[in-house]
Structure 1
Amino acid sequence: MQIYEVRLEPSALKELERLSSPWMEKVFVRVEALAINPRPPGCKKLRHSEEEWRIRIGDYRAVYIIDDENAVVEVTQDSSSTRPDRRRQMYEVRQVSV
């Protein structure tokens, strides 16, 4: 079994730090678990992208890219791939970007 390195873009880390303590811990635990299994049950490949995946953590979503060749999972944030975020906000950002 290959172990992946999990990286958080600075903007994703900043958003994670804005969450309340209980949510921050839940999101962080799920994101760190991607090192063992980057495609856990319930993860979904995003339709608009060849490389982006998302996991659901309660009302939040974490969007990430898997690089199997280099064994890296990178949690991302920008206008097309959002941070761990509330679902409605995530899809509003995506709709504006189109």
Structure 2
Amino acid sequence: MFKIEYSRKSLKAMRKMPRNTMQTIRSKIEKLAEDPYHPNNNVIQLTGCEDYRMRVGDWRVIYSLRDDVLTIEVLKIKPRGDAYQ
């Protein structure tokens, strides 16, 4: 099981979004922490960097995965149109 760390930006985004969306994203992140390499997680590595993105409906969770310390650092949570800027 991987440890989950949230950046300030991601926590701020979660506070601003609707409660049901926040709960869905949180449960997906918890499933990701159980097995980040499971094919049903809908995860793709971003081009040009070592970060990953997970699709949750119209939202994107951008995170970095550190295998050496078993940590997932959630960097950003944004709507699809804003996530890659």
Q: Taking structure 2 as the reference length, what is the TM-score of the superposition?
A: 0.89
Matched, 1:56 2:55: yes
Aligned to 1:30: 28
Percent identical across equivalent pairs?
25
The total of aligned residue pairs comes to 83
Q: Provide Cα deviations, 1:33-76, integer angstroms capped at 9, x if missing partner.
A: 22111234220000020x20110000000000000010000001
**Deviating runs (4+, > 6 A) in structure 1?**
none
Which residue of 2, 5, 11 maps to 1:4? 2
Cα 1:65–1:88, aligned 2, differ >3 Å: closer, same or farther?
same
Q: Which structure would you say has the larger Rg? A: 1
Aligned to 1:65: 64
CA-based RMSD of the aligned residues comes to 1.1
Aligned to 2:82: 89
Q: Which amino acid aligns with 2:46?
A: L
Aligned to 1:47: 47
Higher RCO (CA 8 Å, separation ≥ 6 residues): 2
- Where does structure 2 lack aligned partners over 5 or more consecutive residues? none
For residues 90 and 73 of structure 1, what CA distance do their matches in structure 2 show?
A: 18
- CA shift, 1:17, in A, is 1.2
- Where does structure 1 lack aligned partners over 5 or more consecutive residues? 77-82, 94-98
Q: Taking structure 1 as the reference length, what is the TM-score of the superposition?
A: 0.78
For residues 34 and 78 of structure 2, what CA distance do their matches in structure 1 show?
A: 23
